[in-house]
Amino acid sequence: MKYLVTGGSGFLGSYVAKQLLARGDEVVCFDLPPKTGLEETSLAEVLTKDEMEKVKFVGGDITDDKKLVELCKEEKIDMIIHLAAMLTDACQKNMQLGIRVNILGTINCFEAARACNMKRVVYASSGSVFGNKTYARLGVVGNEAPHDPDSIYGKMKDFVEYCGKFYHDFYGLETIGLRFTVIYGKGRKRGGANFIKAMLNDPALGIPSVADATDGSNFVYVADCARACLLATQIPYKRHAYTITGETLPAKELLEYVKTILPDARIELRINENSSVPRIFDTTAEEQELGYIPEYDLRKGALATINSVRADEGLPPVGIE
């Protein structure tokens, strides 16, 4: 199979590309052309040199619907994994651009799939579609829990899910949205939940950091998210979206764990008490239908993140007996 991964030089896209290659698939990464070259992207940070040579990178804008269709036809793409997006902070600063990228960009992927007679599109949604009121009211949030997003980013993802369901019901295109929670790991460079980078990636290199955290977040390791994407390309179609989870842990407990393996870490933790509602999920659908069970709990994933960041800088591993 030949896949087009939009946002392919970004954080999650890089891990998806890596796992697709390992599975034996062909990969075309579509993303904004990097200003300083691919060597500064997450793709170059996550993939080996041999893997980079196997990936085709095409620069472009997800809002350019004509180019997207032309690319899919020229490359004979079998399926799109759509991960290109503007995240929370960027959407709040420029809502018009956020709508063009997050909503119209996703619809462009659906239309390109239709134009090229593809069967399915897998795309990134977000756990933010549920919102604090839903988390607080339900306690345990099921896969089909009502959406009540607090942010403009969450509203966009909520509408995208509606569009995905429409494209399936009206056109027969199988669209599967994956609602990721807080993704962490080596290669993360941006995003409203970037406090996890300040708690793991920076301390791994001895860099002092300030983490403005939302307490009670659900943290999911990036390699697990990539594996969920691959699973979604192969399962029988049963529903339009799945919530992809990891482990819910108070930020203070994560800080205490980091301190056990990096005793000299200088992390200032500032918790936003106004949005500190624990994210607890019913994982039945993701387990039974998608076949997804996270391989990394937060401690295992945090250690993997810290040591992979250190390895890139020639530093010895920590926390391993």
Q: Residue 54 maps to which CATH number? A: 3.40.50.720
Average pLDDT over residues 277-282: 87
> What number of other Cβ atoms are within 10 A of residue 117's Cβ?
7
The H or E element spanning position 220 is strand 218-221
User: Is the pLDDT confidence value at 265 over 60?
Assistant: yes
Q: What is the extent of the structural domain holding 77?
A: 2-185+219-246+279-295
Determine the pLDDT at residue 74. Answer: 98
H helix and E strand count, the chain:
15, 14
pLDDT band, very low/low/confident/very high, at 136 (cuts 50, 70, 90)? confident
For the chain, give the number of residues.
321
Judged against a pLDDT cut of 70, whether residue 54 lies above it is answered with yes
Domain assignment present for 19: yes
d(Cα 223, Cα 228) in Å, to the nearest integer?
A: 9
Query: Lowest-pLDDT range, 38-47, 93-102, 258-267?
Result: 38-47
- Total domain count for the chain? 1
Mean pLDDT value across residues 187-215? 82
Q: What pTM, to 2 d.p., does this model score?
A: 0.94
Whether 104 is in a domain gets the answer yes
Enclosing H/E stretch for 50: helix 49-54
Tell whether 126 is covered by a domain: yes
Those residues with Cβ within 8 angstroms of residue 281's Cβ, 6 or more apart along the chain or in another chain? 140, 141, 142, 218, 243, 245, 248
Evaluate whether residue 269 is within a structural domain.
Answer: no
Q: Per-residue pLDDT tens for 235-248?
A: 999 999 999 999 99
The angle that helices 65-75 and 105-115 make with each other, rounded to 10 degrees, is 40
Residue 192: is its pLDDT beyond 60?
A: no
Q: Look over the chain and give the mean of its residue pLDDT values, rounded to a whole number.
A: 93
- Range with the lowest mean pLDDT among 49-58, 207-216, 266-275? 266-275
**Res. 273: pLDDT tops 80:** no
Q: How far are the Cα atoms of 82, 170, 180, 252, 314 from residue 175, in angstroms, in the given order?
A: 10, 12, 16, 38, 42
Pick the more confident residue, 31 or 249.
31
The answer to whether residue 167 is domain-embedded is yes
Question: Does residue 268 sit within a domain?
Answer: no
Q: What pLDDT band is residue 190 in, cutting at 50, 70 and 90?
A: low
The pLDDT of residue 250: 86
Torsion from C-alpha of 204, 7, 41, 95, nearest 10 degrees: -80
- pLDDT of the residue at 36: 76
Per-residue pLDDT for 271 more than 90? no
The pLDDT score that the predictor gives to residue 121 is 98
Residue 109 lies in a domain: yes
Comparing 252 with 30, which gets the higher pLDDT? 30
Is residue 212 one of the residues assigned to a domain?
A: no
Q: How does pLDDT run across 91-113, given as a tens digit for each residue? A: 999 999 999 999 999 999 999 99
Distance CA 277, CA 244 (A): 18
Instruction: Measure the CA–CA gap between 267 and 4, rounded to whole angstroms.
Output: 38
DSSP bridge pairs for 179: 125, 243
Collapsed DSSP state (helix, strand, coil) of residue 182: strand
Residue 216 has a pLDDT of 80
